[in-house]
Structure 1
Amino acid sequence: MNLDPPKPSFAYLVVSYCFVFPIFRLLFRGRITGTNNVPKNGSLVVVANHGSHLDPPFLGHALGRPVAFMAKAELFKIPLLAAIIRACGAYPVNRGASDRHAIRVASSKLNQGWATGLFLDGTRQKNGRVNNPMAGAALLAARTESNLLPVAIINSHKALRKGFLFPRFLPIHLRVGEVIPPPISRRKPDLEEVTEKLKSSINFMIDQGLID
């Protein structure tokens, strides 16, 4: 869909430039390559590997346009936090909600012109790679006729290891791949084909290692 993306809110700009970016750039020596691959207009499904809780804020503020993520509904009951994450495009999904409900909510965001972020495995992976990809991103792209953008988040699984509360300030770099068109249908073979392309693209960029 060739829609203009929503303009960043004041809260988004404050969070991005006063909080997330300084942490990413200074503490984690963050670098990004491939941002020229990011479409500036139109709905977009941003797909990445998932190594730690650092991934959503870094990915959501690194591409030059806001990226909306699903967030637990409980977070929206905390007044200040709710105002911030809602302004940044997060949308609530009830714990235990069906996949169909989550897809409908995400589709609505895409139909408004948002870039919507999903992690291909759906949960954090100890090795930081894409291991057991799910077809949710491909299905979402097929439903909304949105392009998919693969992004590799490198080293976050080492910087904030699963089961640990405090991070190690290691470099975290993002590699942005080339856009992948949506599946030609919602049939399982077509969804699996695109899902495999996403997995291969992301893992290939991970294998390239940190940006020189």
Structure 2
Amino acid sequence: MLRRRKPAEPPGLLSNPKPSLTYRLISYLLVFPVYRLLFRGRTLGNAQVPMDGALVVVANHGSHLDPPLLGHALGRPVAFMAKAELFKVPLLGRIIRACGAYPVSRGASDREAIRVATDRLLEGWATGVFIDGTRQANGRVNNPQAGAALLAARAGARLLPVAIINSHRAFGPGNSGLRLLPIHIRIGTPIPPPASRKRADLDLATAACQEQINGLLDQGLIRP
């Protein structure tokens, strides 16, 4: 059985790791123009983002564009899981590591992945989790997994539901190419960590995330 590891101090007191120079350059010189100009990006709800301490960012997943856009829009680095092989690629490995990505070996067990992600949270990172686990053709939360809630329970971290609108239509599964459609991000209200790692508590937190995210998606694009 996995034992819950408690932070040395409450998550709210942990400092947010400072973004590296590489991260800032990528975010503002590459991601910013892609999101804001190419995809006419808008973000609503930044005041809801806790800027310090451990945070599990829970989002729908419609496109490979989602991780960098999400990290940029939230205003603080968001660490995502990445295949260990990518870290061996010259330049790419250094870039994704600087952006907070953490390696997980091919074929690694879910337990190992959870341990690595929990370590990131205990360091004060915001850790990103796509709640369905894979891209969804309709861009919605259809079959949510309990991994995000389990991470939050292990680290005592809040969950932050986020809706990424239209990325599945711009560059989602089955698309033959990139479509320059608006991609907007709506940020929800933080949810307290589950009361325990019991399945009932994890399912309750997972359902709350699903309800918020799909509700934000139903509001559609952000109007000026």
Scaled to the shorter chain, the TM-score interval is over 0.9
Structure 2 unmatched ranges of 5 or more: 1-10
Task: Name the counterpart of 2:47.
Answer: 36
- Give the 4+ runs in structure 1 shifted more than 3 A: none
- Select which of 57, 65, 72 maps to 1:46: 57
| Residue type at the aligned position of 1:159 | A
Q: Contact (CA 8 Å) 2:60, 2:163: kept in 1 or not?
A: yes
Task: Name the counterpart of 1:106.
Answer: 117
- Give 3-state SS (helix, strand or coil) of 2:129's partner: strand
Size of the alignment, in residue pairs?
A: 212
Task: Name the counterpart of 1:92.
Answer: 103
Deviation of 1:85 (Å): 0.5
Alpha-carbon spacing, 1:165–1:12, altered in 2? closer, same or farther (3 Å): farther
Between the aligned residues of both structures, percent identity stands at 67
| Residue type at the aligned position of 1:15 | I
| Residue type at the aligned position of 1:180 | I
Task: Name the counterpart of 2:215.
Answer: 204
Instruction: Tell me, in whole angstroms, the C-alpha distance in 1 between the residues paired with 2:93 and 2:174.
Output: 25
Task: Name the counterpart of 1:119.
Answer: 130
Q: Residues 66-123 of structure 1, C-alpha deviation per residue, up to 9 Å, x if partnerless?
A: 0000011111110200001000100011121111000000000001000000000000
- Select which of 193, 200, 205 maps to 1:189: 200
Structure 1 unmatched ranges of 5 or more: none
Instruction: Tell me, in whole angstroms, the C-alpha distance in 1 between the residues paired with 2:176 and 2:37.
Output: 20
Deviation of 1:164 (Å): 3.5
Task: Name the counterpart of 1:132.
Answer: 143
RMSD between superposed Cα atoms in Å: 0.8
Instruction: Tell me, in whole angstroms, the C-alpha distance in 2 between the residues paired with 1:105 and 1:182.
Output: 18
User: What TM-score, normalized to structure 1?
Assistant: 0.98
